[in-house]
Amino acid sequence: MASDSDSDEDFVTYGTPLEPLEEDEPLKKPIPLHDQTVKDEKGRYQRFHGAFTGGFSAGYFNTVGSKEGWTPSAFVSSRQQKAEKHHARPEDFMDEEDFSEHGIAPREITTSQEFSSSRRDKAGEKARAISAQAALIPGDTLLEELIAPARSSIGVELLMKMGWKEGQGVGPRVKRKARRQQKDGGGKVYGCTLPPAGSEESEDDDEEFAPENVTFAPKDVTPVDFNPRLGVQGLGYRGLDPSLALLGHGTAEHIDLFKPQSETRNRLFGDTKSSSRRGGVVGQAFGVGALEDDDEDVYHRDSMSRYDTILGEEEPGDGLYGWTAPQQYTKKKDRSKDASYLGKILEGFTLAQKPLEEKTIFPPPSLPRDYRPVHHFRPSVDVSHLSGVSPALAEALRVSKGHMVKEEPQQAGRHQLDSGQRRALLGEDTLQGPSSVMELLRPEDRQRLLSLRNSSNPPSAKTSIPVSSHASQTSGKSAQVLPASSDLQQVSLAAWRGIQTSSQTFKPFEKNPSKQARYELYLSCLKQGDNDALEQSLDPGMTEWERSREREEFVRASILYRPTSSSLSSRFTRAKDQEDDDSVEVSPDQEGDLDDKQAAVKMKMFGKLTRETFEWYPDKLLCKRFNVPDPYPGSGIVGLPKVKRDKFSVFNFLTVTQSREAAAPPKPPESGKKSRWDVSEQKVEKKKEDLLGELLSAARNQTETKVEQTPTPALPALPASISSSDQAPGSKPEIKSSDQQSSEEKKDGDEEEEEEEESRPPMDLFKAIFASSSDEKSSSSSEGESSDEEEEKETKEDEGKMDSEPLNLFSIPSTSTTTTSSSATTTSFSSSANTSSSHQAAAVSTQASKQEEEEFGPKLPPPSAALSRGGATSICPPSKEVKTGKKSKEKKHKKKKHYKHKKEKKKKKHKKHKHKETAEEEQGGGDGEQEDGQVSTDELLKRLKSIRSHQMW
Amino acid sequence: MAFPQPRPQAPQLPQHLLRTIDCQQGAVRAVRFNIDGNYLLSCGSDKSLKLWSASRGTLLKTYSGHGYEVLDADGSYDNSQICSCSSDKTVILWDVATGQVTRKLRGHAGKVNCVQFNEEATVILSGSIDGTVRCWDTRSRRYEPIQVLDEARDSISSLKVAQHELLTGSVDGRVRRYDLRMGQLHVDFISSPITCVCFSQDGQCTLSSSLDSTLRLLDKSTGEMLGEYTGHKMKGYKLDCCLSSKDTHVLSCSEDGHVYCWDLVEGSLSLKLPVGKAVVQSLSFHPTETRLLTAMEGRVQVWVEKGSA
């Protein structure tokens, strides 16, 4: 639309268009002269009187407006009211034309010359003056000024509207110091050089402090006019300045026609330094004129005093005499910097050259929303390491001087080793003889020592660890007294008694195998309920001190590492996914509290509650294609770091293979028949015409094939009784062919569905199967997972029965033990159905799968009301029926009738043939194998298997 | 100097039927404007994709090569290419001028519901019933997708691309926004199966329609709900929704044969456009003008504002 209308819009038309010429139309007569009239804005005729009679203005018409001419003002004067003196103003003699825009006294409001900017066009004046200087007859531009235009040009006006002011340059505002006009060094300029541009110099004068946010207009540039040299004079010649030559000023100095920088010119350029120009070699070309009296300059002698003899004679003034460093290092710069510093600077300090590096402070990581300060165990916790132990427990162990604390480096010192270990390390033999020093002593000495030790025992140890005190009291090889008396011992005994399964008990002394062995022995004794377990397990070869310490450790450890059935279980949370290894790793928050979200959605509290954000790693190439930088450069991950996947989602298994599958089922060429497409539309409506659906249904629909499925090509023959002419052609044959009894019952097409259900004998069984299998369509949704699991297992079982080849398309973990949820009758039925229908597996048609696909996401609307009517009444959703209005129904009827006519004709001719055709129509474009009814079921089964093996691949 | 700006005109709504195009290609599954709104694409259920002139309503080209009904299509920014997706699980890249298949991309496990070019037509993104979004490279000769986004747990029903962001709506009731620049995935839980998602023109909001007959306008950055639009009927079919070209209105198809149009800010129903008796399946709003395409059964209708030719 826009394309052709645009072409008109591009042009602007003025005036009235000429009427289009038509060829056969006679040319219009030209308007006679007397009809060509001119009217003014009031519609009055303006008569043209000819040049000598006054043009337009002649006569009263255009001037006065009345035949009588001017109306004389009435003069009235009385005694009371004296006539005022009447002053005639020019306006009195003007009419509205004169006051109008183009009249002689326009009454528009305009700015007058006085109110325009006072700095009006200085640069222009300057330029003019310069060109006047350069002109052959100096001052002749004065005339030009006299006839200068009254108004500024349109360009100037535009510039002013854009914010330009006179005296400023044109261009974007620049950020720099306040401009210092004409600060050029006054270098000699020879000939017709350009006037100093001034922009470069201004860049480096930075003695002035300028605030950051102030911008300045660019400098005004004096326009240069390049005049071609026309005369025969030499380069740099300029005419006599009449003010000098004629007015007598010239006596002061020699008139130098070639003097490159005359004073006037310098003045024009604003060169203020010219007066301070030091002497140099100044030459004169023409000698002395007759009018001049000073001729000492004729043969001018240079004196050396006029030269600079000393380098840098002049003091720069900044104290940095002879300092040759670049200017930015001079003090000036620093000073300006200091000046820009707003705070107070201490004496003796200057501002730092480099700004300090700012420390970036990273905020602590924000805790996730649902963070609970409880440690979640990694699924692969090595039990032998102590990482699974809570910090409190580890602390307790360390206090008790146990060896089990992991933080202490293994084999940290020799004090950690007992004598046996040291012996093993050194490779010594076991010492023969008494194992304890005590034995070497005489009995009385021993007694004395014991009593001594008893008294020196710290009281705290006594109270807290009664075991040790007991042990010390009863010295000797066998400390039999301990177990019975210590209550700790009793506790541990109570905890461990009767526990048989401890394949994975905690091993606190794993670093020391022999000790661990002793500990385990002790535990096993405990489990048997042995009261003197401690004595049995301890090494008789150890010293008394070692033994008492070990006893203590064992008792503590046995209490602390009680099996989970007792107190430990209350302290620890169980790792979520430790036991089933076949589950996929799930990031904890992704699992999500679906209920919370659901509630939030119900309460319409979208936002934080319903939003989840994950790190997501786009592919590098994808970033490149999208023209964005890789957000995680160098990371090899693509996608989500951890992806939650349903264990039993069908798509997990299917996504790999379809690339070949897509090509596998060849579509039959379309015949262009409408009916064909009706069927395919139905399928689409049911949403799963793809292989996926086929497979799923293949797995479980073999049970149903017998009853409600598509025509099996094997039994094409139909009893003649079914040929009910009033049936809807599309939906009918499906049932007809599937089982004969049911189809026979159906005479009236409209109540097909009810009839169908009645005709099916084992409805309850169906329900038992399909009630659950209908969920399965949504198998990808995580909610229905458990039921899916069972379902799929069921189907797997069925599969296994049906064909010897096990279908491991759905990898079911063997560990999870389930009995099929559906009753035994179901399974028995399905198995029996399997046996009977296994040869019908060919009919793994989409038709059947369609039935259960309805919930697989939003559907596509039916192609059209008429078509869907003709083709698929039974499958059409009820909402559809409501929608279709009466009119469309009528239309449909027409169509249907039309259809029927055709069909009936065919039917009458050969019914069998017709049936085949309708069956073919049923199949639609999806599966071409079934078009020829002669494909054997075995063949089809084989194909199905091959497809499946593809899938597994 | 400063004249007051002329008062902005009240936004017009397309309610005048300009033209009806009978597409002759079965049911029209989707109808889409091209990038500048001069042409339109109609996806037919008879496996064909047709290119029409939006102004004249004439058929310009028919693209055939799909093996099943065409479900969605998109034109590239330079109008030189078209991508389309189909129930036959393939995505096809077409050359507009010749009508030839430039590339046929296979890989989805199920039918492909939606397809989009990225801004420079270097990547085709397609969402399928198998729950994945696949990113196909149009520059290289590779036939595998660059990346497969399989975060959705159910069928992808709709996807949109805006600059560096990808918005997908899934039947699992979640709207996912992949931010390539930030490397983040934002998931908004809607709970009801999503049928269509859109970005607003300013890129700050997302619009999602779901099967609970509700459209929700969510803030893109926080996920908070800015508006909710109800009244239409969307219970079972995958129907489109969109925003008007100036973000003033929210439009949605309905199963009762109307196009509903709400004021974006107030949420009030401002127009109930009767299209026909069947389900309005697809609609597309002109990128700049007030012009609307609707698809019902086999016809495409062009709607313009009142008073315009």
| Euclidean distance between CA atoms A767 and A773, whole angstroms | 9
What is the per-residue pLDDT for A398? 54
The two structure tokens encoding residue B203: 């890129």
Average pLDDT (A418-440) is 67
Residue count (chain B): 309
| Euclidean distance between CA atoms A887 and B203, whole angstroms | 44
Average pLDDT (A186-204) is 44
Task: Give me the domains of chain B, ranges plus CATH numbers.
Answer: 14-302 (2.130.10.10)
Contacts of A678 (CB under 8 A, 6+ apart): A730, A863, A867, A868, A870, A871, A872, A921
Contacts of A670 in chain B (CB under 8 A): 46-47
- Give me the total of CB pairs closer than 8 Å, taking one residue from chain A and one from chain B: 268
Give residues 441 to 500 of A whose Cβ lies within 8 Å of B: none
- Residues linked to residue B86 through DSSP beta bridges, in sequence order: B70
| Euclidean distance between CA atoms A683 and A608, whole angstroms | 40
| Euclidean distance between CA atoms A526 and A533, whole angstroms | 6
Task: Tell how far CA A790 is from the center of its chain.
Answer: 40
Nearest Cα to Cα of residue A655 among B148, B237, B142: B148
The answer to which of A178-192, A372-386, B14-28, B182-196 has the lowest mean pLDDT is: A178-192
A657 CA: distance to closest CA in chain B (Å): 8
- Vertex A845 angle, CA A769 and A851, to 5°: 45
Q: Is A586 on the interface with B (CB under 8 A)?
A: no
pLDDT at residue B82 greater than cutoff 90: yes
- Residue to mutate among B68, B92, B106, with most A CBs inside 10 A, is B68
A26-40, A243-257, A843-857, B42-56, range with greatest mean pLDDT: B42-56
What is the per-residue pLDDT for A99? 78
Q: Do B228 and A604 touch (CB under 8 A)?
A: yes
How many C-beta neighbours within 10 Å does residue A525 have? Answer: 20
Express as a percent the part of chain B with pLDDT over 90: 30
Contacts of A600 in chain B (CB under 8 A): 189
- Residue to mutate among A690, A779, A882, A890, with most B CBs inside 10 A, is A690
Q: Do B277 and A883 touch (CB under 8 A)?
A: yes
Please identify which residue in the block is written with the tokens 């997990």.
Answer: A652
Q: Do B223 and A857 touch (CB under 8 A)?
A: no
The two structure tokens encoding residue A423: 């012996």
Nearest Cα to Cα of residue B88 among B117, B59, B120, B66: B66
- Residue to mutate among A590, A674, A696, A864, with most B CBs inside 10 A, is A864
Q: Is A307 on the interface with B (CB under 8 A)?
A: no
The answer to which of A933-947, B16-30, B50-64 has the lowest mean pLDDT is: A933-947
| Euclidean distance between CA atoms B109 and A696, whole angstroms | 13
Q: Is A635 on the interface with B (CB under 8 A)?
A: no
Q: Do A2 and B187 touch (CB under 8 A)?
A: no
| Euclidean distance between CA atoms A828 and B253, whole angstroms | 48
Q: Do B153 and A646 touch (CB under 8 A)?
A: yes
Nearest Cα to Cα of residue B150 among A865, A391, A653: A653
Task: Tell how far CA A211 is from the center of its chain.
Answer: 40
Q: Which helix (H) or strand (E) holds A906?
A: helix A886-909
| Euclidean distance between CA atoms B134 and B115, whole angstroms | 10
**A606 and B218 in contact (C-beta within 8 Å)?**
yes
Q: Do A631 and B180 touch (CB under 8 A)?
A: yes
**B173 and B191 in contact (C-beta within 8 Å)?**
yes
Give tens-digit pLDDT for A674-707. Answer: 333 333 334 444 443 444 444 444 444 444 434 3
Q: Do A622 and B236 touch (CB under 8 A)?
A: no
Q: Is A659 on the interface with B (CB under 8 A)?
A: yes
Average pLDDT (A882-890) is 39
Contacts of B183 in chain A (CB under 8 A): 615-618, 631-632
- Residues linked to residue B196 through DSSP beta bridges, in sequence order: B209
How many C-beta neighbours within 10 Å does residue A524 have? Answer: 15
pLDDT at residue B212 greater than cutoff 70: yes
| Euclidean distance between CA atoms B240 and B230, whole angstroms | 14
Q: Which helix (H) or strand (E) holds A5?
A: helix A2-9
pLDDT band at residue A151 under the 50/70/90 scheme:
low
Q: Do B149 and A606 touch (CB under 8 A)?
A: no
**B296 and B305 in contact (C-beta within 8 Å)?**
no
The DSSP line for A853-874 is: GGGSS-BPPPS-HHHHHHH-TT
What is the per-residue pLDDT for B296? 87
pLDDT at residue B165 greater than cutoff 50: yes
What is the per-residue pLDDT for A658? 39
Facing B147 at nearest CB: one of A638, A867, A877: A638
3-state secondary structure chain B: CCCCCCCCCCCCCEEEEEEEEECCCCCEEEEEECCCCCEEEEEECCCEEEEEECCCCCEEEEEECCCCCEEEEEECCCCCEEEEEECCCEEEEEECCCCCEEEEEECCCCCEEEEEECCCCCEEEEEECCCCEEEEECCCCCCCCCEEECCCCCCEEEEEEECCEEEEEECCCEEEEEECCCCEEEEEECCCCEEEEEECCCCCEEEEEECCCEEEEEECCCCCEEEEEECCCCCCECCCEEECCCCCEEEEECCCCEEEEEECCCCCEEEEEECCCCCEEEEEECCCCCEEEEEECCEEEEEEECCCC
Tally the C-alpha atoms within 13 A of residue B250's C-alpha that lie toward its C-beta. Answer: 31
B61 CA: distance to closest CA in chain A (Å): 17
3-state secondary structure A748-803: CCCCHHHHHHHHCCCHHHHHHHHHHHHHHHHHHCHHHHHHHHHHHHHHHHHHHHHC
pLDDT at residue A41 greater than cutoff 80: no
B307 CA: distance to closest CA in chain A (Å): 16
Q: Do B132 and A651 touch (CB under 8 A)?
A: yes
**A675 and A923 in contact (C-beta within 8 Å)?**
no
Q: Is A925 on the interface with B (CB under 8 A)?
A: yes
pLDDT at residue B83 greater than cutoff 90: yes
Residue count (chain A): 953
Nearest Cα to Cα of residue B72 among B160, B167, B152, B142: B160
| Euclidean distance between CA atoms A888 and B276, whole angstroms | 11
| Euclidean distance between CA atoms A434 and A541, whole angstroms | 9
- Phi and psi at B97, nearest 5°, equal -70, -50
pLDDT band at residue B41 under the 50/70/90 scheme:
very high
Nearest Cα to Cα of residue A341 among A211, A177, A179: A211
What is the per-residue pLDDT for B207? 92
- Looking at A603-654, list the stretches that DSSP marks H as alpha helix, in order from N- to C-terminal side: 620-625, 650-654
What is the per-residue pLDDT for A436? 58
The two structure tokens encoding residue A652: 């997990």
Burial tier of B231 (Cβ tally within 10 Å: 0-12, 13-18, 19+): middle
Q: In b/e form, how buried is each residue of A356-369, taking b as 16+ CB within 10 angstroms? A: eeeeeeeeeeeeee
3-state secondary structure A528-566: CCCCCHHHHHCCCCCCHHHHHHHHHHHHHHHHHCCCHHH
pLDDT band at residue A427 under the 50/70/90 scheme:
confident
Q: pTM for this structure?
A: 0.39
Type of residue numbered A836 = S
Cα dihedral B195, B201, B204, B207 in deg (nearest 10): -20
Q: Is A329 helix (H, G, I), strand (E, B) or coil?
A: helix
| Euclidean distance between CA atoms A699 and A703, whole angstroms | 9
**A292 and A272 in contact (C-beta within 8 Å)?**
no
